[in-house]
Amino acid sequence: MSGSAPWGIVVPGHSGRGGLSRRCGVLLAHAAHLAEEAAEPPNVIVFTGGRGRGARSEAEEMLASWPGRTDVEFVLEPTAATTAQNAARSLPLLLARGVGEAAIVCAPLHAPRVRYFFGSLFESFGVRCQVRPVRSGATVSAAAWELAATLVMRRQLRAARAELEARG
């Protein structure tokens, strides 16, 4: 990320049976590496996701599993159930902290939808968005899920924009 401008990392959740998936662990490790290796540490790391497999949300599971530096602000967004909601609900958290750039860490198959939602929403509010796909082992079911999800992307983006407008 650039210079000393406030920046953040956003990690959308990915749950598995009984907790976070192995893929989410890979995403967290990459986000931790990104935070460690940056010239300036991120101002904030946002974990977003609400579909936990137990008492905790994905966001809470990610925080509990965080393998990296602890000298940054961690923010949980524990309600999002879709990628569009991940984007719409993490954006105000970044804006409230003056963040102008964000790195979104995701799986390669998920990157096109992440670019679509985060890019559209973040850029319209002046937050530069950099999607950071991380090799994490694609599966046939993940590919099928991403393909099926493309059918509702426009509707989800409209709903995400409406949610942001309602917040003011």
pTM: 0.92
Tell me which residue range forms the domain holding 54.
12-167
The reply to whether 5 falls in a domain is: no
> Can you give the pLDDT at residue 136?
73
The reply to whether 89 falls in a domain is: yes
The reply to whether 120 falls in a domain is: yes
Total domain count for the chain? Answer: 1
Q: Tens digit of pLDDT for each residue in 97-112?
A: 999 999 999 999 999 9
Q: Tens digit of pLDDT for each residue in 43-75?
A: 999 999 997 666 789 999 999 999 999 999 999
| 91 contact partners, CB below 8 Å, separation of at least 6 | 121, 122, 125, 127, 164
> Can you give the pLDDT at residue 52?
64
The reply to whether 3 falls in a domain is: no
Q: Is the pLDDT of residue 15 over 90?
A: no
What CA–CA distance (Å, rounded) separates 83 from 35? 22
More confident position, 139 or 91:
91
